[in-house]
Amino acid sequence: MKINNFLWCTFIPLLLAGCIPSTKILEDIQLVQTFGYDYVNDDEFEGTAGSSNIPPGEQSLPVNEVFTATGKTGKRIRQKMQGEAARPIVVGRVGLVIFNQELAEHGIENQIDSLQRNPSIGRKLLLVVSKEKAKDIIDSNYSQSDSVSQYLIDVVEQNLKQTIPEINLHRFLVHYYSKDADPFLPLIEKQGKHLKVSGLGIFKDDKLVDTISFGDAYIFKILYEKFRRGQFEVELSGGEDVSLENLSSKTKISVEKKNGKYKTTFKVKVSGRAMEGVNLDLTDKKTIERIEKAVEKEITERAEKMVKRFQELDADPLRIGEKARQRSDFNRKEWKEQYSQMEIKIEAEVHAVQSGIIE
Amino acid sequence: MGFFKSKLKRFNRDNKQKKNENSEHELRIDELLHRCKESTDFVSYRYSESCPFYIHYYQTIVDINILHQYILPYVKDNASKTLFDLQQAIPIDNTEIIDNVHEIRDKLLTGCVVIEVKGSLQEALVISAVSLEKRPVSLPEVEYSVVGPKEAFVESLDANINLVRKRLPIPDLIVEEVKVGSLTKTRVAVLYIEGVADKENVNTVLQRLNDIEFDQVVDSSFINQIISDNHKSPFPHLIDTERPDRVASVLSEGKITIIVDGSPHALTGPTTLVEFFSAFEDYFLSWHIASIFRLVRLFAVFFSVLSTSLYVAVLTYHYEMIPENLLNPLIASRSGIPFPPILEAIILELTIELLREAGARLPTKIGQTIGIVGGIVIGTAAVQAGLTSNVLLIIVALAALASFTTPVYQMGNTIRLIRFPFLITAQLWGLLGVTFCFAYILSHLLKMTSLGRPYLAPVYPLRLNDLRDSLFRLPFFMQTKRPLQVRSPFPARFQSKGHKKPKRDIED
């Protein structure tokens, strides 16, 4: 009996040895780290894969290598790329996917679908919309020592933490498939030898409908999620500039329904340090209050303007609909009808905590 | 094969015949002496013509001083005429008049002087005059500790028991002696504390020792292998220690110790897996430090077993798992190498094993060169020649280093051995293979026993009380009970109101 068990345990796995996954040895594959999609015409699109070749040696710098192909499907494009690659192309380490603005305006459903179906692609994948052609962004040199793909990923990743709301494939899909919210993506553009995050692209379903500026993206971030870092600059009534170092911000969305009419309130709480007021006496309580008032006004005005714009587009990237759905008397049909005319109030409450280390 | 079989058969038959002779008491003293005289170190003479006593002994195992000072003068003295008179006269307490020839033979061979009267063929006076050749008690070499006692066992059984008894001066410490090995007749002592050790464990040990069918037992590791619960297991079943303090400590925990004559290592059991990773120095340090060191050691074991196989698995199958920042250095160090990761890993692992084996076999003075050869020549040159990658070299070196942190040498060997199945399964099935191999070894450990007691004890079966001295070593006042695993009939170690009692100064 004992021998029997041993045989089972040892030889059955050996028989299964034919079922093993194929080996992909790290240096024998072409790792794609960024991927870009460009608009060609309504049927076809152009795909660009950015990868790097790393020559042997400890101090060797990676060499940028770009593959481009045009086709009707992602699979076809990949096949064409494989034709010119020395090693098998794998997509398991893609960190950034760039959609050209023109393509995004025509809809990115096709590309998103193939991304979310690929099991080797992680859910933390970053998606961005670019003003230029995605190919131009991937196939160029930047003033940095790392590989191009790594540089692009680092720029976007860093901005997601500091200045624009955090978004990745997973969150995009949540918004995309939700009936009560619309997705948004960061907007990037190339400026000389640098890549720059320049705002947010607002989507309605899978189509890009609007872009908002970098400054507004920060307001968007305050309304969208709570966070701890960042800076805010306002001009006081006297003409002085004051910057507020954000310590923490928190937003509460509340949706009310009275007589079948919806009403939404954003309660924004920001507390920050007042810094860099050149001609101001920051130790004075009155000055601090003045700053608080000014920032409150600034946030309220800009946020209201932004929300109004979203209502005009009938897009809901701030997922107010998701919040409204939590009500037991939620009626999706009524909500859709009312969304663009609904009253949305912004209530900002700013608290300037400190004025620096010297008092 | 047939030839050997027939030879073996004849050997067995001869042995049987001899046994028959023995049992029928056919051997007579003069025959025995005749046989002994074939050996040149056997001495047999009469002191003078008038003296009735004949003296026989093996001069190589008898202490000549005892013979000359305490035996010969009384034999020479004509006052005593019979063996009984002589026995009374000789000032040595360990004397006997024996009429069994086989017993006489055994005594003769273990260093006794046999005195007989010419003519009486079945009776002889046997006087113990064993010459104890032993080296002085020295520093422990395998289980060295910075603080704590610096005594280590020596080869002599009596000296070793002496070292233990000095630490446990109680009449309850029982020593039971068994002779093992048909040729070597090695003395094997089983030590335990009556009332603290479980009688069943003691009987298990004694029975297994009595059941040993092997002709030679040279060292305690022979006993360890022969009486182990599972011969197929690569894991050691009993802890092998050279520290008398450790032996005294485990005895008082209710465990059993086996000391073998001629071996400076004692065996203790029943034992558990975690005990193999506790150095005895842990008990000399404060409990916080000891606990951290134990955790470090356990981490080292996992690192040593898994690191190379994970490297192979990840580089061969799961490139998705490598962090982005690590990709470039990894590819850069790998890209010039002509071998797949598995070959690279096996080459390096074997090199390390070669270095270790060579270092262990060579005399210490040449052994130092091995370090230079290994470190500089092979390490640097192999990377520069593009045979292995820097990253793997670091991993393998760290893994080898980690495997040496295991305080029990046998366990360290086992850990180095089980790396290889992990490597092979990692190559065959990637991370799935590593998991598979891990589960296989875990299920083996779950099933394993040491002297019939569970091997993975405080963890499975879960013994919350025993956890206090397993992964961590908690302070002494918390260790109020003996480990449940040894099934001690007297589990409480001391009565204590414990830590609730405040420490007092002399003024109070």
Q: Establish if B326 touches chain A: CB-CB under 8 angstroms.
A: no
Q: Is residue B374 over pLDDT 80?
A: no
For residue B231, give the amino acid letter: H
**Alpha helices, H only, B24-99:** 29-36, 64-66, 72-76, 83-89
Identify the pLDDT of residue A39. 93
What are A208-241's pLDDT values in tens digits?
A: 999 999 888 888 988 998 888 777 777 777 777 7
Q: Establish if B384 touches chain A: CB-CB under 8 angstroms.
A: no
Identify the pLDDT of residue B11. 52
What are A9-41's pLDDT values in tens digits?
A: 777 766 766 666 788 888 888 989 999 999 999
Long-range contacts at B355-363 (CB < 8 A, ≥ 24 apart): B356/B400, B356/B416
Say how many CB pairs under 8 Å bridge A and B: 70
Q: Which of B233, B330, B335 should be substituted to probe chain A, the one whose Cβ sees the most A Cβ atoms within 10 Å?
A: B335
pLDDT band for position B491 (cuts 50, 70, 90) = confident
Please say whether the beta carbons of A276 and A243 come within 8 A.
yes
B335/A153 touch (CB, cutoff 8 Å), yes or no: no
Lowest mean pLDDT across A156-165, B367-376, B446-455, B471-480: B367-376
Closest Cα in chain A, distance from residue B416 (Å): 21
Q: Establish if A17 touches chain B: CB-CB under 8 angstroms.
A: yes
Q: Establish if A124 touches chain B: CB-CB under 8 angstroms.
A: no
pLDDT band for position A347 (cuts 50, 70, 90) = very high
- B386 contact residues in A (CB cutoff 8 A): 56
B320/A55 touch (CB, cutoff 8 Å), yes or no: no
- B320 contact residues in A (CB cutoff 8 A): 92-93, 120, 122
In chain A, what percentage of residues exceed pLDDT 90? 38
Q: Is residue B18 over pLDDT 60?
A: no
Over residues A88-94, the mean pLDDT reads 89
Pairwise pLDDT comparison (A358 vs B419), residue with the higher score: B419
- Nearest by CB to residue A58, choosing from B319, B332, B340, is B332
Q: Establish if B322 touches chain A: CB-CB under 8 angstroms.
A: yes
Please say whether the beta carbons of A231 and A248 come within 8 A.
no
Is the ipTM reported for this complex over the cut 0.85? no
Closest Cα in chain A, distance from residue B177 (Å): 36
Quick one: tokens of A53?
């070749």
Identify the pLDDT of residue B4. 52
A26/B315 touch (CB, cutoff 8 Å), yes or no: yes
| Strand (E) or helix (H) holding A331 | none
Name the A residues in 63-102 with CB < 8 Å from any B CB.
90, 92-93, 95
Phi first, then psi, for residue B296 (nearest 5°) are -60, -45
Give buried/exposed letters for B115-142 (b at 16+ CB in 10 A, else e). bbbeeeeebbbbbbbeeeeeeebeebee
Lowest mean pLDDT across A16-30, B98-112, B149-163: A16-30
B316/A56 touch (CB, cutoff 8 Å), yes or no: no
Indicate the pTM of the whole model: 0.82
pLDDT band for position B27 (cuts 50, 70, 90) = low
What are B430-461's pLDDT values in tens digits?
A: 898 899 899 999 999 999 999 989 999 888 88
Q: Rounded to whole angstroms, how far apart are CA atoms B315 and B350? A: 20
Q: Is residue B466 over pLDDT 50?
A: yes
Instruction: State the maximum Cα–Cα separation within chain B, in Å, rounded to a whole number.
Output: 100
Q: Nearest residue on chain B to A150, judged by CA atoms?
A: B324
A56/B336 touch (CB, cutoff 8 Å), yes or no: yes
What are B198-240's pLDDT values in tens digits?
A: 999 999 999 999 999 899 999 999 999 999 988 889 999 999 9
For residue B160, give the amino acid letter: N
**Of B245, B242, B243, B256, the residue nearest B166 (C-alpha):** B245
What are B397-431's pLDDT values in tens digits?
A: 899 889 888 888 899 999 999 999 999 999 988 89
Q: Which of A7, A11, A25, A53 should be substituted to probe chain B, the one whose Cβ sees the most B Cβ atoms within 10 Å?
A: A25
Q: Which residues contact A100 (CB under 8 A, 6 or more apart)?
A: A36, A37, A38, A39, A129, A130, A132, A133, A134
What are A282-329's pLDDT values in tens digits?
A: 777 888 888 888 889 888 999 999 999 999 999 999 999 999 999 888
Supply the angle between the helices B287-316 and B409-447 in degrees, to the nearest 10.
Answer: 70
Identify the pLDDT of residue B172. 92
pLDDT band for position B385 (cuts 50, 70, 90) = confident
Q: Is residue B17 over pLDDT 70?
A: no
Quick one: tokens of B8?
């073996």
Q: Is residue A52 over pLDDT 70?
A: yes
Q: Rounded to whole angstroms, how far apart are CA atoms A13 and B421? A: 14
| DSSP designation for B487 | T
Pairwise pLDDT comparison (A336 vs B27), residue with the higher score: A336
B336/A60 touch (CB, cutoff 8 Å), yes or no: no
| Cα separation values, B276 from A48, B236, B279, B286, Å | 57, 9, 8, 20
- Nearest by CB to residue B331, choosing from A26, A95, A153, is A26
Lowest mean pLDDT across A116-120, B84-88, B167-171: B84-88
Q: Which of A101-110, A139-148, B131-140 has the highest mean pLDDT?
A: A101-110
- Nearest by CB to residue A25, choosing from B316, B390, B428, is B316
Over residues B368-390, the mean pLDDT reads 79
Q: Nearest residue on chain B to A32, judged by CA atoms?
A: B320
B320/A26 touch (CB, cutoff 8 Å), yes or no: no
Identify the pLDDT of residue A145. 63
Lowest mean pLDDT across A270-274, A306-310, B49-53, B319-323: B49-53
| Strand (E) or helix (H) holding B82 | none
Q: Establish if B316 touches chain A: CB-CB under 8 angstroms.
A: yes
What are B128-137's pLDDT values in tens digits?
A: 888 777 788 8
A26/B330 touch (CB, cutoff 8 Å), yes or no: yes
Over residues A29-54, the mean pLDDT reads 91
Q: Is residue B23 over pLDDT 50?
A: no
A56/B341 touch (CB, cutoff 8 Å), yes or no: no
A153/B390 touch (CB, cutoff 8 Å), yes or no: no
Over residues B377-383, the mean pLDDT reads 79
